[in-house]
Amino acid sequence: MTNRRDKKEGDSVPPYDAHGIDIVRAYQIVCFMVGSNAEKFKHFADETKLPKDRQDSCAADYNRAANSWGLALNAHLRAPDQPKTKIDVIYGDGKGNLEGFAQAARSIMLLELVAQHAADLFVWPAPFTLEMQSCGFINAAWVASTRKLTLCYELAEDFAELYRAYGVARADRR
């Protein structure tokens, strides 16, 4: 959806950008989904026009990625007798039209749920903070010096806009 939006608006991601090209990442995610369960996600592969020969290679891609993540993360899984890492949460003010996103995140205790899951599942080298705030741009970033992961409300707004556009696009095709 970001690729469609960017094309429509005439924006393009420079090849040297820190993030990959959206359409490539999107197809890789669809491929991982298909690779994890071809029957369950066939409709999604068809809807995104993932070529059949590509679908056929997705199980191997998924297995390689799952094994790699397993190797990387298994050493950090928390055993029941290990203490949980303290993960603080902060909700900054949502500036302007972002206040609704701030209120929604606070009311569903989004960061608390993520912090609890992260502390339950993994042993972290040190306490850290999860923060949501208005950044002035669409982003999320880890700052090692402050041990803080910041999620921008603008990112939530962008996801919501993409979801609304996707829903409208899907409804129009029916």
Q: What percent of the chain has pLDDT over 90?
A: 71
Cα separations in angstroms, 162 against 4, 11, 91: 10, 15, 23
C-alpha span between 87 and 112 (Å, rounded): 9
Residue ending a domain, choose from 75, 108, 137: 75
Cα separations in angstroms, 9 against 63, 123, 164: 37, 43, 17
C-alpha span between 86 and 67 (Å, rounded): 28
Mark whether 106 and 67 lie in a shared domain: no
For the segment 127-139, the average pLDDT, to the nearest whole number, is 96
Q: Give the CA dihedral 91, 92, 95, 100, nearest 10 degrees.
A: 10
Q: Is the pLDDT of residue 115 over 60?
A: yes
173 lies in some domain? no
Q: Is the pLDDT of residue 173 over 90?
A: no
130 lies in some domain? yes
Mark whether 63 and 21 lie in a shared domain: yes
Residue ending a domain, choose from 75, 97, 129: 75
82 lies in some domain? no
Mark whether 123 and 98 lie in a shared domain: yes
39 lies in some domain? yes
Mark whether 91 and 71 lie in a shared domain: no
171 lies in some domain? no
Mark whether 56 and 16 lie in a shared domain: yes
| The pLDDT value given to residue 72 | 95
| The pLDDT value given to residue 48 | 86
172 lies in some domain? no
Q: Is the pLDDT of residue 22 over 50?
A: yes
Mark whether 93 and 59 lie in a shared domain: no
User: What integer best gives the mean pLDDT of the chain?
Assistant: 87
Mark whether 97 and 149 lie in a shared domain: yes
For the segment 110-130, the average pLDDT, to the nearest whole number, is 98
For the segment 124-151, the average pLDDT, to the nearest whole number, is 96
For the segment 46-52, the average pLDDT, to the nearest whole number, is 90
| The pLDDT value given to residue 122 | 97
Question: Picking from 21-35, 66-80, 95-109, 159-173, which range would have the lowest pLDDT averaged per residue?
Answer: 159-173
Mark whether 28 and 69 lie in a shared domain: yes
Band (171; pLDDT cuts 50, 70, 90):
very low
**For residue 85, what is the enclosing H or E element?**
none
Q: Is the pLDDT of residue 174 over 90?
A: no
Domain count, the chain: 2
Could you tell me the residue range of the domain that residue 21 belongs to?
2-75
pTM, to two decimals: 0.73
Q: At what angle do helices 22-36 and 38-47 cross, to 10 degrees?
A: 150
| The pLDDT value given to residue 17 | 55
Residue ending a domain, choose from 13, 48, 75: 75
80 lies in some domain? no
C-alpha span between 1 and 7 (Å, rounded): 10
